[in-house]
Structure 1
């Protein structure tokens, strides 16, 4: 009985850790890219496994039809979710390295085959001695073919490890080691669980891996600009370095956006008003661009937007919508100044040797030229 209490307490501690990591990663006011959604999905899936594991400990060996139904349902869900977490981990690593939704979609149906096969075996286990069996006292016993579940999970783990090893030069050593070690703790927990059926440590070990990954990568990247809530320059560089390597038929459009008269706003109305102006611009940009578009604060009063589009007409439509939203904001008179933006934009074909540096240099130069033109026009009007 003391052993059961200890495992339940361990699961509770792990759930508390996951809750705080989830709360810090999840934000209501911003968009999420696939790697972030996958990380959040891993957290939720591991939390579900901890809850199921706790439930199974609490009702194991309790007589009665209701407890038998609960035990069977919990075990089916528990066994079915095991490879799902391994699959989510593989997808997280793949997108972290390549940054391509299309790449994931292309082979997703192959990756789902083991998960679907495992789901069938999990359900069939209710009627046969495959993954588990309940005796007449509703006590859990391992099924005769539980090794199949372990092999399925192992396939995903090996595939993820190979993916990391083959593409290790695409990452820093810290990124590689953090991602590679993520699978180490759950593997150790799985070995302990295999050798000691009553020693279920795998999900507590997985929680430790999630915490380590959050500290070393998710949080260490400091992706968000603290003032505007947009992505920052650090993550822009990482995002672009991945995007320019992606080869597909869509154009990569970029906008360098400068807030006009930012110095005058600071001088006349104070730095608090200047900060508010930057937040207002970030709000306008969120309203204008699509959820899948990448919006970042480049530095100071400059912003960068990166989009994938089919043709240049899409870019023109978005620019018109941006100018319209600026006009709407200025008509509201919520601040004693008007928001004005100078924009440099262009479309790039990623098949023609585009680099992150040339991408930023090009749109920055176009923005600077447009700013010069606007200043010359203002001087002529004066």
Structure 2
């Protein structure tokens, strides 16, 4: 089988796989949301890169030098777009802020713009690639501009993920970091053997793995806060309550944001969403990475902890309150955050089931809320 025909089949399979992914996205998610738009653009950029990569290599040695120049210029301009969109997507995945995403998009496009200028000027400068007498293209001295623009985005995304790993749930960091490895390996091979078309089929595979991971995660998590949902909380609590032969104490905390309805009524639901995300950030700084934190209702959260001593529970709650107070001093929101809590240790000799334990914590939280209203 001719090598080009083999690559055509591989590329076609990758494109079909990505089109199926897009159809599934349209079926199960809201494509009007900013992160969904970025992810769908990411998919389309890979499809376009696969097509452009194949076209450039299919035309290699073609009689028309102008056609080859145009195809390769387009390919080189498209190449970093996928890495740029991946960087934006990881930023939203970490911070969940559409406003931050919009502010970041333009300045982050600087490497993209530099690469585009070099690519567009190449027919006159020959800096990024050249054509030989047979109209076959070869990498030029400044091909490094292309690879640098790609690796800047990939490395920036990796650094950002590692630096903000506390914002990720347990087990999320590694799949996100591994996204770049297959296309990175493919780019190293293709940089030395440019007729071996590996980068974009491998990138498509990476994106499919990420999408599968994200989709499986959405079954277990709350879409707004990225915390575990009520179903996962109930499941985890039941598992730990049934756990035998452990020296750890099982504890729980139920938390509720005070005056949340008034926040929504006065400042709007967008401000309410910001309050939820801000409180989630405070909780991530307050609880340990292996504590199980879930959103169990509109403005209600619950935490499952395994402790060595009962006094640890009081210390953790005091740390949470101190972090809430510290956040309020920053003036990030136009209103202060306040939270009521109900906590306790799980004792199977006095509590008949995990569900009853949760109800007990919930009742204690409302007692705390009522007491605060009476005092203040």
TM-score bin, normalised by smaller chain: 0.5 to 0.7
Map of 1:299 onto structure 2? none
Answer yes or no: is the 8 Å Cα contact 2:56–2:75 preserved in 1.
no
Query: Aligned partners of 1:133 and 1:355: how far apart in 2?
Result: 64
1:298-309 equivalences in 2 (<5 Å): 306-308=269-271
**How big is the shift at 1:89?**
0.4
Q: 2:96 aligns with which of 96, 99, 106?
A: 99
Answer yes or no: is the 8 Å Cα contact 2:56–2:68 preserved in 1.
yes
Deviation per CA, 1:9-39, whole angstroms, max 9, x where unpaired? 2111111111111110124984532221111
Map of 1:212 onto structure 2? 209
**How big is the shift at 1:308?**
3.9
| SS of aligned partner of 1:194 | helix
Query: Aligned partners of 2:90 and 2:162: how far apart in 1?
Result: 11
Map of 1:13 onto structure 2? 13
Query: What are the ranges of 5 or more consecutive residues in structure 2 without an aligned counterpart?
Result: 230-261, 273-297, 300-331, 343-361, 367-376
Q: 1:187 aligns with which of 184, 199, 205?
A: 184
Query: Aligned partners of 1:194 and 1:356: how far apart in 2?
Result: 58
**How big is the shift at 1:172?**
1.7
**Count, aligned residues:** 255
Query: Aligned partners of 1:32 and 1:47: how far apart in 2?
Result: 20
**How big is the shift at 1:40?**
0.6
Answer yes or no: is the 8 Å Cα contact 2:52–2:71 preserved in 1.
yes
Assess, with a 3 A threshold, how the Cα gap between structure 1 residues 139 and 308 changes in structure 2: closer, same or farther: same
Map of 2:336 onto structure 1? 352
Deviation per CA, 1:287-322, whole angstroms, max 9, x where unpaired? xxxxxxxxxxxxxxxxxx94348xxxxxxxxxxxxx
Deviation per CA, 1:107-152, whole angstroms, max 9, x where unpaired? 3332111111111100011112211122333222112210121112
Q: 1:235 aligns with which of 223, 243, 246?
A: 223
Q: 1:76 aligns with which of 55, 60, 73?
A: 73
Q: 1:169 aligns with which of 163, 166, 170?
A: 166
| SS of aligned partner of 2:134 | coil
Query: Aligned partners of 2:25 and 2:182: how far apart in 1?
Result: 22
Map of 1:135 onto structure 2? 132
Query: Aligned partners of 2:81 and 2:25: how far apart in 1?
Result: 21
Map of 2:264 onto structure 1? 253
| SS of aligned partner of 1:133 | strand
Answer yes or no: is the 8 Å Cα contact 1:26–1:40 preserved in 2.
no
Query: Aligned partners of 1:19 and 1:357: how far apart in 2?
Result: 47
Query: Aligned partners of 2:29 and 2:83: how far apart in 1?
Result: 29
Map of 2:40 onto structure 1? 40
Q: 1:157 aligns with which of 154, 157, 167?
A: 154
Query: Aligned partners of 2:23 and 2:340: how far apart in 1?
Result: 32
**How big is the shift at 1:236?**
4.2
**How big is the shift at 1:235?**
2.1
Query: Aligned partners of 1:88 and 1:38: how far apart in 2?
Result: 7
Answer yes or no: is the 8 Å Cα contact 2:88–2:105 preserved in 1.
no
Answer yes or no: is the 8 Å Cα contact 1:252–1:350 preserved in 2.
no
Map of 1:113 onto structure 2? 110
TM-score by length of 1: 0.59
Query: Aligned partners of 1:355 and 1:189: how far apart in 2?
Result: 50
Map of 2:142 onto structure 1? 145
**How big is the shift at 1:104?**
2.6
Query: Aligned partners of 2:108 and 2:169: how far apart in 1?
Result: 27
Query: Aligned partners of 2:165 and 2:50: how far apart in 1?
Result: 32
Answer yes or no: is the 8 Å Cα contact 1:87–1:156 preserved in 2.
yes
